[in-house]
Structures are given as C-alpha cells and as structure tokens.
Amino acid sequence: MFALKTLRAAVLAALSVPALAQEPVPTPPVPVPHSPEVPVVATTPLQTATTPTPTLVLPTAAPRPFADIIRGAAHVPGFLGLYQKEEKVWIELRPEQFDQPYFMSVNMPNGIGERGIYGSQMGLTQVVVFHRIGNLVQMIAKNTDYSARGGTPQALAVQQAFSDSLLAVAPVVSAPHPQSKAILVEANALLLGDIPSMTTRLETAFRMPYAMDARNSSFLTVRSDDSMTGFQVNAHFFVPRIAARPAVVSPVPGAVATPPFTLPDPRSMFLGFYYSFMPLPAQAMHGRRADDRIGHFVSTSQDFSDDVTPTTAVHLVQRWRLEKQDPAAPLSAPKQPIVYWIDANVPEKYRESVRQGILAWNAAFERIGFKDAIVVKQQTDKDRFDTMDARHASVRWFIGSDVGFAIGPRQIDPRSGEILDADIGMSDVFARGARRMIGEDSITLSPPQPEEARCDYMQESVTEMGFAMDVLEARGMLDMAGPEADALAQSYVKSVIMHEVGHTLGLRHNFRASTVYTLKQLQDPAFTKEHSLTGSVMDYTPFNLSLKGEQQGEYVASSLGPYDYWAIEYAYKTIEPAQEQEELARIASRSSEPQLAFGTDQDASGFNMDPDVNVYDLGSDPLAYFQRRLTISRELWDRVQRRTLKPGESYEVLRRSFDYGFAQFARTLPVVVKYVGGVTYLRDHAGTGRATFTPVALPRQREALRMLTDSLFKADSFQFSPETISRLAADNFTSRPRQDVSVGGRVLSLQATALDQLMSDSVAIRLLDSQEKVENHKQVLSLAELYGSLQNAVWSELKSGKDIGAMRRNLQREHLKRLVASLLRVSAGTPADVRSLQRENALRLQRELHTAMTRAISVEAKAHLSESYETLGQALKASMLRAGA
C-alpha cells in the first residue's frame, strides 16, 4: 500500500508540470487525421469543447512481457531502439542508457506561414537524461548553466542550489527483456505533448488559448541509426471557439484575439516538430575563451569551482570542431569538414548562388591552414534523412504570408561551445523581391519582432531591396523582366547566405564594419570584389546605390571582408595548448586596426548607442551616406511626379515609389538623431591609447542637427503636387483602413518620432554627461543650443512672417506638447536643466506668438497661434507635477 501511495504521489507531482507530455488526451470534437500521413479536417463546424486536461494512466498490474508488446511491430535498431506498430511507437531503453546525458533538439519543419509560426526553423535544445522511478520514466532537462569541479564540496553546493526541469513522463509498459534487460516506453506518451511550449507562442501571436491535442497528433516518420534517433511529429493544436470581436475596440494594441488567416479553419492547425536524440561527443571539445573585442556567439556558464576569480562567468566561443588531418602541414584538409546540405526544397535556380555563398568562407579557413574546411552537398530524392534532424547542417527555403527574413541559428554542446548543428532558413522574398515589381503584387509584412541571438532581416531588408529596384528601374539601369534583375537577385541570395553562414560558424553581427571604406572606394567594382563592400559580411548592408550620374559599384557584397578573416582566425586557428593564451591575446590585440572595427547589436541601440554602429549604412561617413539616401528618395519622388503612365497601367506603381521614399526617411532620420548627444563606444583593452567612450565631435553633432532641421522641420521640407497625391492609388485587392494617402499624416509621424528622440531625457542626459568626458566643455553640444535650434526651425514662420500651412501647424503642435510636458510633468530621471532651459524657451516663444498674432495671416493660422499662446500661458502658471508625487 505504501508503494502504491508513493507511486501515485510521484504521478500527481509530475502532472503539475505545465509542459509535460502525457498519455493521449480526450479527443476534441471534430478535427481528426484521416491517416498518420494525410491529416484531414472535417467539413462540419467544430463543436464547443473544453481544453483537454493531461492525464496519466496508472499501471494497475505488472507490465506485460517484452515480447508480447512488440509482437507484430517493425523493429528500427539504432542509438535508441524503436518498435512501431500502426500508430504506436515504443522506445527501447537499456539499463546503461538511464541517467546518461544526451543531446535533444526539437526543430520545426512545418508551420502555418504567419506571425512567427513558420516551417524550417530551429527550435529548443536540451541536455536530457532518462530517469526511472518505479514504473515511470522521466525525461529531465539537465541544468548545464551552473557547475563546479566534480567531486568537490562546491559541486555538491551547486547541485543543491539549482534545479533540473521535468519535460515529460511516461509509464514503463513492458517487463525487462530477458537478455538485454531493456524496457519499453511508449513514445506517444513521452513526445506527443507540448514540450516546445508552442501553446505559449500561439497565444502570444494570436491571443487565443490554443491547446495541444495528443489524440489527434501522430508520428509521421521515425528513424534511428547508431548515431541518432529522430521522430517527426505531426502535432495538432486547437481552440474550442473563436471569441466574438469586442463591441468596443481595446485601446491596448494586441489585447484582442486575432485569429490566423492562413488556415482553412482558424480553430485547428497541424504543426511539425522533429525530435532528435543523440549522444554528446564522447570527449568534449577543448573550449576556447571568448574575447569581447571580437564578435563571437558564446556559451556562458557559471563556474563555482573557486572563490578567488572576479566572476563565476565562463564565456566560450561557439565553433565547430575542426582538426587538421596533418597538423604539421601548412595547408591540410580537416579530419571532418563542416558539411552543409542544400535542402531539396531550395529552388533549383538558386542552388548555385547558395553554394557559392557557403563556400565563400573557405577563403578564411585557407588562410589559417585548412583546405576545403567547408563542403556543400545537395539533398536528392535518394537521401531519406530530414535536414531538420540534429545531424545535418543545412540551408532550407521557407515561405509565409508575412515573412521577409533569413536566419542562421546554431545548436551547441554546452560543455565546450562546440556547434553540433545549424540550419539556415532562407525566406523566398529575397529572390522574389527582384521580380515582385513586374506583377506589382503586394506582400503584407508583419512588424519586426524583438530577437536575441538570431539574425532577422524582416521587413526592413525587403523594403531596402524594393527601394533599390525601383530607383534602378527609374534610372533605366535595370530591366525588371530581363537578365539584369535575375543576376541581381542571384547576387543578393549569395550575399545573404554568406551572412547567415557566418552566424552558423559562430559570428555575431558587426554593424560598425560598414564604416571602414570611403564612399569613393565603394563606387569601384574592382576594389569591392577584392575587399568587399564592408569590413564584414556580418553587417546589415543596403544596396550600394550611387547618386545619379556617379560611377556605380557592386550593388551587394560578393566576398568576405577583413574582419571575417580575423574572427575566423581567433575561433578556428590551430594552436598548441601551451601557446593558446598568448596567441589568442596576440590575435585579439589587432582590434584597433581600422579595417577590423567591431560593434554589435547592443552597441547599435539602447541608452549608450553608438552613432557609427548602424544597420543599413555604408561608408566611412555615415552622415554623408544618409544625406545621399535622402537625396535618392527625393529623386524617386520627383520621378513619381513626372512619370506618365501608359493607358491601362495601374496607379499603384506610383504609390509604391512614394511609399519607398518615405520608408527610407523613416529608417534614416532616427539614425541621424543618434549623433546628437552621441558617444562612440570602443571595445579596446589597455594599450591602444584610445578612450572607451568619446563624445561625437561638436561639428558632427551640429551637422546632424542641421540635416534633421533641413530634412524634417523646414517649411518646404515636403512638397508634392496635388495632381500626384490624388493619383496615388493602392492595391485594390488588399484590405486597408483607408485607400488614399495622407501626406500630412506621414510627415507628422516622421517629425513626431524625431522630436521624441531629440527632446528625450536620454539625449539630455548624454549631452550633460558628455561634458565629463572632455576637457573643454565648449566642445560638446549644449542643451540650450539643441532646444533653441529645434524651436527656431519648427516655429520659423514667427520670424519670417509667412502664413502657416496645415502640415506646419501640426508640427508646431507636436513641439508645443513636448515643451509643455517638460514644464508640467518631470520624471525622476529628468535633468533639472531640461525644465529650466525649456521654461526660458517657453517664455521666448510666448512673446514671439504674441507678436505674430498681429500680422495678416489666415484665420486657421491665427487661431492656431492664439491657442498656442494660451496653452503656454497656462503651463507657465501651473504647478509642476513630479512623477510619483
């Protein structure tokens, strides 16, 4: 009786884990698979159902003999022995396989093509053990983030401090095998659960409580050999009903359920998961310590072996295991090359460009003594494996209704940082982008999503490509239906693959790399073919467009940059253990060389964002580059206003060019703002003579401020003919809130965004703090100059005496709102100088408004000035509200 109570207690404890995979749950009303291979959703409406509750069937008798369970089942021998009979799959676990660490990955070969739920995506990885408690087998994820030297008291303390996690549990269904003593566990019970926590992802994407439905989930394929065991799961998720839309629209974005639109019935979907289990390398690869001056992905763990080191964190470079066949040879083939498989789903016409993009990295490995370090193979119909397993690094194509990105994730051995698998996902929009202009079709894109350790081009790269294609077509330099467009698409595919392969080799983004060459050098195709467009292909590089009439260089990168060779050298160079520390220090010490400039994601954004670390810029003078981009945008707008369409041609072509121009402004101007109060951040170590933090030179800050006022805040910054605006028709097959264009609304959005940044507390703090970093305070842009310049530009009509149009009135109201807010409500982090300076500006503006109201201007302008005057007066008289008071 005591044993039964103990067993029941263990089962109840297991069932309290939300993500457990359990026995099949009660069937929801209608969606049923016709067969394991071809799922069919019934045509009758789904009935209301409750979310299934996971249950576990307790064994009521001794397990049946091993032979009875497998009678009539197909045997699949391998790392984990499998038996399959109809829809049932059993895993054979031998005594020596319990409590041994194994590598498990869960990838996603099939999705639904929208809002982040895409196919061909890498998923989670864990180091797992199979642990037996009585007649239960637990699959436990080991906590590999914390460790100490084995056999020490510290190791015991770590074990007591940090917990493992239970992923799944299943009953033992057989007695031990008479000879091997192996037992059988039903894989259906162990793996047909929400181990990847997909229900949370679905709820995040659609705000709907989708549930995992084990009864209507199945194994599509099972594979096993001596090195790996794989299960492809066709997992069913459902929701009982779609909630009615609320009568009142919620003011909170994303609070209302938005069902998926790519499904025949949004209440039911099948998602694919590929589970791989394989042993970890018998001998962990030697871990190489990372250096923060070079951008590698790192495996970080906390080592508590001693208490005299300044930190417990250990950062190891993520890299493939690469060893020379002949260590003494200056150039040797590796014992085992890095093999990339081009998946069978990659379109045949792009396979050669993909292959070239992968093999381009061999140049970097040859420089450190490896011949053919990377090998490319093409998957054919004869290859029965799935490239989503944990053994085949691959490039896969994927499609979705709202995708526009590529991704290059890795899966690693946490003990050493060894990369075990990598799967590059390539959205077809990169190739299709050069052709989508022909049919003038529209691709609806989701907004960029926050990401950590993944590369995500998303909407911006698609917009960048479309902008470049439109400009080239307008100049007559590109026939969208001709071979030039095809060649450009192939070049772009190759450049994107080079970038993503870099990630799968362990390299992070380098967004400072775009600053190492001059714009003049980038116009020389011979130069860029030898040196690349940037210091590294790990930058986000825009199309290299020259101004009209200038020499045109390569549009996209065709080769690696100098930084790429350097980063590969640090991670992969063969070094004797005794010399490793000294040699790595020597390699990293080159970080101050101009062509090896490095800055990554966190340097491009956040409070301490560096204005020279940006996405989608080119050249050693980013401000000059951005000015050129704005010039090209206006060139495109001029084309819109001059273009005469052929009879029957859609006005949507004009709308597209108009939109691309605004998209360039929206991308460019916020980056220009970074120079105002900007601080350059270098990752140097001692000995270079350069400071870590250096405020942007005063002339550069003034140049950026002038560019902003000229491009955004002048009265004539945006002028379009009414004839043009009245013809900017949208794609009539696409649903949108309004079909026509509001130029004023778009301009105001750009202006408001720039004002938010320029008048923010963070910019004020950086400007004030910059005075602490220079000897002469006058060499730093002052808050008084910033606020005064903005106010003079926004309210220029008060001195010129000109009438004030609608767009200008909107801009002035936006500035007034922020000025008043600085007088009335101050947060705890607002510098005191902000309010005192803005109070002086408010008093000056009030005097100028009073004078301007006496002039002969339109009724609307006079009413606007009068209201502004009264608003300022009330704000100046009111008491200040402090945040939290």
Beta bridge partners of 340: 376, 393
pLDDT of residue 404: 64
Rounded-to-10 torsion of CA 870, 871, 877, 880: 180
Q: What's the DSSP call for residue 114?
A: B
Encode 72-108: b = buried (16+ Cβ within 10 Å), e = exposed.
ebeebebbbbbbbeeeebbbbbeeebeeeebbbbbbb
**Can you tell me the mean pLDDT for 384-392?**
91
Centre a 10 Å sphere on the Cβ of residue 845 and count the other Cβ atoms it contains.
23
| Distance, CA of 279 to CA of 65 (rounded, Å) | 28
CB 857 within 8 A of CB 804: yes
| Distance, CA of 104 to CA of 125 (rounded, Å) | 6
Centre a 10 Å sphere on the Cβ of residue 563 and count the other Cβ atoms it contains.
28
Rounded-to-10 torsion of CA 147, 151, 157, 160: 90
pLDDT of residue 425: 85
pLDDT of residue 448: 33
pLDDT over threshold 50, residue 17: no
Share of residues in the chain with pLDDT > 90 (%):
63
What six digits make up the tokens of 484? Answer: 């030039």
Interval 435-494: pLDDT, tens: 443 332 332 323 333 344 445 544 556 677 778 888 888 887 777 667 888 888 889 889
pLDDT of residue 792: 95
pLDDT of residue 429: 65
CB 518 within 8 A of CB 620: yes
Interval 603-657: pLDDT, tens: 888 777 789 999 889 999 999 999 998 899 888 888 888 888 889 888 888 888 8
Q: What angle do CA 135, 136, 137 make, to 5 degrees?
A: 130
Interval 563-615: pLDDT, tens: 999 999 999 999 999 999 999 999 999 999 999 999 998 888 877 778 999 98
Residue whose entry in the numeric block shows the structure tokens 């197909």: 74
Question: Counting Cβ atoms within 10 Å, is residue 280 exposed (0-12), middle (13-18) or buried (19+)?
Answer: middle
Interval 309-321: pLDDT, tens: 889 999 999 999 9
pLDDT of residue 55: 45
| Distance, CA of 174 to CA of 191 (rounded, Å) | 18
How would residue 51 be classed by pLDDT, with cut points 50, 70 and 90?
very low
Q: Which of 365-374, 385-394, 656-665, 778-787 has the lowest mean pLDDT?
A: 656-665
How would residue 35 be classed by pLDDT, with cut points 50, 70 and 90?
very low
Centre a 10 Å sphere on the Cβ of residue 879 and count the other Cβ atoms it contains.
6
pLDDT of residue 729: 85
Q: Which of 50-54, 344-348, 664-668, 819-823 has the lowest mean pLDDT?
A: 50-54
| Distance, CA of 842 to CA of 835 (rounded, Å) | 10
| Distance, CA of 407 to CA of 461 (rounded, Å) | 13
The model's pTM = 0.86
pLDDT over threshold 50, residue 297: yes
3-class SS string, 707-776: HHHHHHHCCCCCCCCHHHHCCCCCCCCCCCCCCCCCHHHHHHHHHHHHHHHHCCHHHHHHHHHHHHHCCC
pLDDT of residue 264: 96
| Distance, CA of 170 to CA of 178 (rounded, Å) | 22
Residue whose entry in the numeric block shows the structure tokens 């999503």: 449
Q: Domain map of the chain by residue range?
A: 2-40+55-242+262-279, 282-620, 756-882
Looking only at the bridges linking them, the beta strands covering 679-681 and 418-427 are: unpaired
| Distance, CA of 749 to CA of 670 (rounded, Å) | 12
How would residue 50 be classed by pLDDT, with cut points 50, 70 and 90?
very low
Phi and psi torsions of 659, nearest 5°: -65, -40
pLDDT of residue 450: 35
| Distance, CA of 103 to CA of 279 (rounded, Å) | 6
Helix (H) or strand (E) holding 84: strand 81-85
Closest by CA to 97, choosing from 76, 123, 78, 71, is 78
pLDDT of residue 666: 85
| Distance, CA of 578 to CA of 286 (rounded, Å) | 13
Q: Which of 52-56, 331-335, 587-591, 861-865 has the lowest mean pLDDT?
A: 52-56
The CA-atom distances, in angstroms, between 72 and each of 86, 88, 94, 596 are 10, 12, 21, 64
Helix (H) or strand (E) holding 622: helix 622-642
CB 809 within 8 A of CB 749: no
pLDDT of residue 16: 37
Looking only at the bridges linking them, the beta strands covering 102-110 and 121-133 are: antiparallel
pLDDT of residue 711: 87
Biggest alpha carbon–alpha carbon distance for the chain: 105
Q: What's the DSSP call for residue 782?
A: -
Average pLDDT, whole number, for the chain? 86
| Distance, CA of 837 to CA of 506 (rounded, Å) | 49
